Amino acid sequence: MIGGGLAGLAAGVALAESGWRVRLFEQRPFLGGRATSYVLPDGEHVDNCQHVTLGCCTNLDDFYRRVGSSSKVKFFDRLLFLDPQGRKGEMEAGILPAPFHMTGSFAKFAPLSLADKISIGRAMLTILRTSGHPSGPAGLNSPEGISMLAWLQSQRQTQRAIDRFWRVVLVSALDEELDSTDARFGIDVFWKAFLCNNRGYRMGVPIVPLAELYDGCRAFIEKQGGEVALRSPVRGIKIEKNSVAAVQFDNNREESAAAYIFAVPHDTFAELLPPEIAQSDAAFRNLDKIKDAPITGVHFWFDREVTQEPFITLLDTTVQWVFNKTALFGPPTAASTQNGDSKTSVAKQYLQLVISASYDLLQKPRQEIIDLCLKEIRQALPAAREANLVKATVIKEAAATFSPQPGVDRWRPTQQTSVKRLFLAGDWTATGWPATMEGAVRSGYLSAEAVTRVAGEPKQFLQPDLGANGLVSLWTKK
């Protein structure tokens, strides 16, 4: 296994559980890849960025269960939205069965007008009637796809419905603007998370630093006779007669195995491949057509409490989500207080702000981003106006996810490749899902399935989708 992000860990754990001896090589000194946490030079332990899951992410849920981390993720039923005028909107399932479970809170949702809601209802009906697979307009189901914005326009959505509803949900879920998002991903989010099952939208938020979610992985692999090697970057792939012979490390070291799963980012994998192999197969040749999309995380420490909400979605602002890490993590432990710097120890509240598809922020100086976000937080949360900002950090991830552009699925390779013993995993491989932790775990399970299949002992690791419930189950078998 090369790469100890979620994809590599999911594949490793699944194979170890089925009796394979797994050796996992990760270049960094910790596991978790993009979905991890680490200690900043000033001693502060921060998430690379806040990560959340949804009730419909069944494979991630299964992975957390396997490695004993389920209790480290807390699920919330209520989503709170706040607009610059201070109007609140809540989304929460009521007593009605799916697909009507959100109708009550949606009807009361103050940031949208009646006309906006009617237009949204119309589009939802189209998704519902087709069980998440509408057939039009032209191009929607072609390999090239169409954009989510084009689909919304075909559904005659009001501008405010687009800005305050569709964009709000989808830019954070898919990390891309609506005009650059394949409509199939956008429609799928609403079908799986909001329509087909009344638990699909529930938001799971880790209540520990992300790295702690992987505490059980190493033990799991080692218990089966395997090995997890950190600080072990793979530098090359030796391929002979169209079969992987070894992976190469520093100082000319080589390691061989019965099967090799590369669970590294797609551009890294392309660089590791010998040039003649990289050009030999369309699955490898087209990897550079998969583009990256950025996410910016802004970390604020205030000298007093500025909100009691666990998380809030802001409307019409640069800041999209506000996570109250103090409330989510609980009171600081003696160890965390000792490790943090003196500024943080006087801080009473730690907020993490998330801005997805943050193309505009990439070139901006950090102080400018801090000033902009602080202004918006003080506008949204009156208690923050009196509070002092004790410390702030900005983490820009230029390649946070692959961009879910129309037609991108054409370029995503399957986990089994044309080269013998060479398998792929990673959120960017063909899973049907966008770049998410769920997509990464699915890719890991699919690659593990491919390894067992080729070895002649096929196993199934992939978990079924959440499935329809309520009234939706009456007209769909999914």
Ligand X SMILES: Cc1cc2nc3c(=O)[nH]c(=O)nc-3n(C[C@H](O)[C@H](O)[C@H](O)COP(=O)(O)OP(=O)(O)OC[C@H]3O[C@@H](n4cnc5c(N)ncnc54)[C@H](O)[C@@H]3O)c2cc1C
Q: Given the rule CB under 6 A, which residues bind ligand X?
A: 2-8, 25-28, 33-35, 48-49, 51-53, 233-234, 263-265, 268, 295, 297, 397, 400-401, 426-427, 435-440
Sheet with strand 236-240: strands edge to edge: 236-240, 243-248, 254-255
Nearest distance from C-beta of residue 364 to ligand X, angstroms? 16
| Region label for 86, one of left (φ > 0), alpha (ψ between -120 and 50) or beta (otherwise) | left
**How far is it, in rounded angstroms, from Cα 448 to Cα 8?**
10
Nearest distance from C-beta of residue 63 to ligand X, angstroms? 11
Q: Which is nearer to ligand X, 55 or 297 (CB)?
A: 297
Q: Which is nearer to ligand X, 1 or 196 (CB)?
A: 1
Q: Which is nearer to ligand X, 106 or 321 (CB)?
A: 321
Q: Which is nearer to ligand X, 6 or 128 (CB)?
A: 6
Nearest distance from C-beta of residue 54 to ligand X, angstroms? 8
Q: Which is nearer to ligand X, 116 or 427 (CB)?
A: 427
At 230, list the tokens: 């950190």
Q: Which is nearer to ligand X, 91 or 193 (CB)?
A: 193
Burial 452-467 (b: 16+ CB within 10 A, else e): beeeeeebebbbeebb
Q: Which of 212, 193, 196, 216 is nearest to 204 (CA)?
A: 193
Q: Which is nearer to ligand X, 197 or 443 (CB)?
A: 443
Helices (H), 94-236: 103-107, 114-129, 148-154, 159-161, 167-174, 183-189, 215-223
Q: Which is nearer to ligand X, 234 or 387 (CB)?
A: 234
**Contact present, 70 and 60 (Cβ < 8 Å):** no
- What are the residues whose beta carbons fall under 8 Å from the beta carbon of 367, sequence distance 6 or more? none
Nearest distance from C-beta of residue 102 to ligand X, angstroms? 21
Across the strands, what pairs with 298?
353, 394
Nearest distance from C-beta of residue 155 to ligand X, angstroms? 26
- What are the residues whose beta carbons fall under 8 Å from the beta carbon of 279, sequence distance 6 or more? 285
Nearest distance from C-beta of residue 106 to ligand X, angstroms? 23
Nearest distance from C-beta of residue 394 to ligand X, angstroms? 12
- What are the residues whose beta carbons fall under 8 Å from the beta carbon of 219, sequence distance 6 or more? none
Nearest distance from C-beta of residue 226 to ligand X, angstroms? 16
- What are the residues whose beta carbons fall under 8 Å from the beta carbon of 64, sequence distance 6 or more? 70, 72, 73, 213
Q: Taking the mean position of all CA atoms in its chain, how far away is CA 223?
A: 29
